[in-house]
């Protein structure tokens, strides 16, 4: 995604660097070689005039104690 006030990279990392009109996103190595990184200018007209930028990053997430009951369902805690 590439707008004046929002930028995002979602996909496989594979050592990639993405230049979105001067905003460079260069994710490092991840467990699944995948990342979701988004930036939003909270004020100003664009990233050049923004005073505050919200950075969001997501990757591999699991609940503490999560186990798989079968191939489609998980549960938290012991079986």
Query: Per-residue pLDDT tens for 25-34?
Result: 999 888 889 9
42 in Cβ contact with 34 (< 8 Å): no
Q: Determine contact, residues 39/53, Cβ cutoff 8 Å.
A: yes
* Rounded-to-integer distance, Cα 9 and Cα 37, Å: 5
**Rounded Cα distance, 1 and 3, in Å:** 7
pLDDT-derived band at 43 (thresholds 50, 70, 90) equals very high
Quote the pLDDT of residue 7: 97
Residue 45 zone, left/alpha/beta (φ > 0; ψ -120 to 50; rest): alpha
pTM: 0.73
Kindly list the domain boundaries of the chain, sorted by start residue: 6-76
| Average pLDDT taken over every residue of the chain | 87
What are the Cα distances from residue 47, in Å, to 21, 56, 67? 10, 15, 42
pLDDT at 5 over 90: yes
pLDDT score at 64: 78
């Amino acid at each position: 995604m590439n707008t004046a006030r929002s930028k995002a990279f979602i996909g496989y990392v594979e050592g990639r660097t993405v230049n979105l009109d001067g905003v460079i996103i260069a994710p490092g190595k991840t467990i699944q070689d995948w990342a979701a990184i988004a930036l939003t200018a909270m004020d100003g007209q664009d990233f050049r005039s923004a005073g505050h930028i919200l950075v969001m990053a997501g990757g591999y997430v699991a609940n503490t104690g999560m186990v798989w009951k079968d191939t489609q369902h998980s549960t938290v805690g012991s079986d």
